[in-house]
Amino acid sequence: MTIQEVIDRILAYHPEFGPDYAGCDEFKCGDPSDECTGIVTAMDATVQVVRKAAELGANLIIVHEPTNYTSMDKPGWNEDFKNDVYEEKERLLKEHGIAVWRDHDHMHAHRPDGIFTGVLRYLGWEEYAETDTSMGMFAHFIVTLPAEKETTLQKLLAALQDTIGMNGVRYVGPDDMPVKKLAIVGHLYPMQGPDPEMNHRGFPKEYSVEIIRYFEEQNVDVVLPGETIDWTLLSYVRDAVELGQQKAVVPLGHFNWEELGMRYAKEWVQALAGPELSVTYVPTGDMWKFLR
């Protein structure tokens, strides 16, 4: 089976975007006509992941996030200055004949979401999660733990660190607070977008401010967001804690937040590729180090 044939099976599995799709899901490097010798699923094609793929004899890496250090993430280096790091990684990929294909838009368009199915599954929350699409932009997952699964913030943090494979966990909240209800929400940017919806006072609605609504109206104990800014939700939770309230926010970091989705991708990619090809999940690993 060629690399392109593997990708064709994946695209047939995902929702159809149509011929005019011009997003980020495409080959970043490599020759799609090469015979596929093995597949790696990973959050990102880091140098470490590339080396592991080569060690495994795999020549296709399926990633979720950008490979070439830009948000547009087009193949190659398209800026007007030299990038030694890009060139070294490109040399490594070419040396081992590895193709990198990104599956981002299709994976999130899948129903259920291809990333957060894995997040919920491996954290043990899949059967307790409900999807909330009322705020737009992102399908939030509200996890209500049954009485026998209720926990504390410290135990939750330990479980997140262990299951995701993190070097440490940042959080805002009281250490001993009970945790019954959680919300996995989207990225907390300063504004919602270039043409935001207006609130009842005529001010632009901020997505990150709307998430405060979960604490105020839905009795959520903990929010797990994607990217974060400090001056909206996080500052609200800090003040709430200083006022004696039981609220917490755990900003895992974008890659850590979605890491388990690529662990799950190993399962369905293996089913699509068939038994003749080996599919291996390679953790990208926490990029953060902590001085203790």
What are the angstrom distances between the C-alpha of 157 and each of 145, 161, 177, 259?
Answer: 15, 6, 12, 16
Give the model's pLDDT for residue 198: 81
Q: What is the fold, at CATH topology level, of the domain defined by 111-249?
A: 3.40.1390
Residue 128 DSSP one-character state: G
Give the model's pLDDT for residue 242: 98
User: pTM for this one?
Assistant: 0.95
Give the model's pLDDT for residue 204: 78
Q: Any alpha helices (H) in the chain, and if so which ranges?
A: 3-13, 47-56, 84-95, 105-109, 116-122, 153-164, 207-210, 212-217, 235-242, 254-273
Give the model's pLDDT for residue 247: 98
Give the model's pLDDT for residue 191: 72
Give the model's pLDDT for residue 135: 74
Mean pLDDT, consecutive 10-residue segments, the chain of 292 residues? 98 94 97 98 98 98 97 95 98 98 97 96 97 80 97 98 97 97 93 74 85 94 96 97 98 96 98 97 95 85
Give the model's pLDDT for residue 69: 97
Delimit the CATH 3.40.1390.30 region(s) of the chain. 3-108+257-281, 111-249
In CATH terms, 3-108+257-281 corresponds, of 3.30.70.980, 3.40.1440.10, 3.40.1390.30, 3.40.718.10, to 3.40.1390.30
